[in-house]
Amino acid sequence: MELTLDGKVALVTGGSRGIGRAIAAAFAAAGAQVMISSRKADDLKATAAELGDRIAWHPANAGDPDAADQCVAMTIERLGGLDILVNNAATNPYMGPVIDSDAPRWDKTFQVNLRGPLNWAQSAWRGRMADNGGVVINIASIGGMRPGGPIGVYDTSKAALIHLTAHLATEMAPGVRVNGIAPGLVKTDFAKVLVEGVGDAVAARTPLKRLGEPEDIAHTALFLASDASSWMTGQTLVVDGGAMLNGALG
């Protein structure tokens, strides 16, 4: 089955590198026009130049509701619509025991990782999707599905995002489908500390014996964005090489 997004317009937050960049590339290759956003204009400009003329860019802080409204409006104005929203941007300012976490970094994590996806979904809903339908994809984590590990604050925000995904699916139906992806440990700059620290051990304990690549997540996002998943909503798909089967960290 060929997965196509011909004639579709997508917006990918955190789209200048890593998983977001791979998703933008996969969507463009499938025929979509794609707006990518992140905080740094220079990174966005460079990524758009590398990925080709189907990619537009607009700088936006994923945790700022006004920036979400502006980016959604710019996407509709420049690309003629908005059919697919990918909430990929995330932050992880604190590593260590949750019991020792401080309020500023806790709040920052939830501002970007949980309130952010809600703000962007609200902007997409009010600006386009309530009347025209669409797809929302939230990038969560397998860390949101089981306790333990060194990034408990981040993982707790992702657990909440998984619940939010299911809840929004009930509210935005039937016109908008809302699904999520829970990656395992993927080789990105964002996960560099974990990859360098425990990556080899995780890969050894994973049934498929490797860490994830950004493209592994992008392929799943393409499926969820396409009509091939037209009877799916409220689900979060685990893409982790089988890591959770053996309790490997991700």
Q: At what angle do helices 18-29 and 214-225 cross, to 10 degrees?
A: 50
Q: What is residue 183's three-state secondary structure? A: strand
For 81-117, give the DSSP string.
---EEEE--------B-GGG--HHHHHHHHIIIIIHH
Q: Give one word for 80, left, alpha or beta, with left for phi > 0 and alpha for psi -120 to 50.
A: left
- 154 part of the active site: yes
**Among 94, 120, 154, 223, the one annotated catalytic:** 154
User: How far, in Å, CA of 175 to CA of 223, rounded?
Assistant: 18
Token match 């979904």: residue? 121
* Catalytic residue list: 154
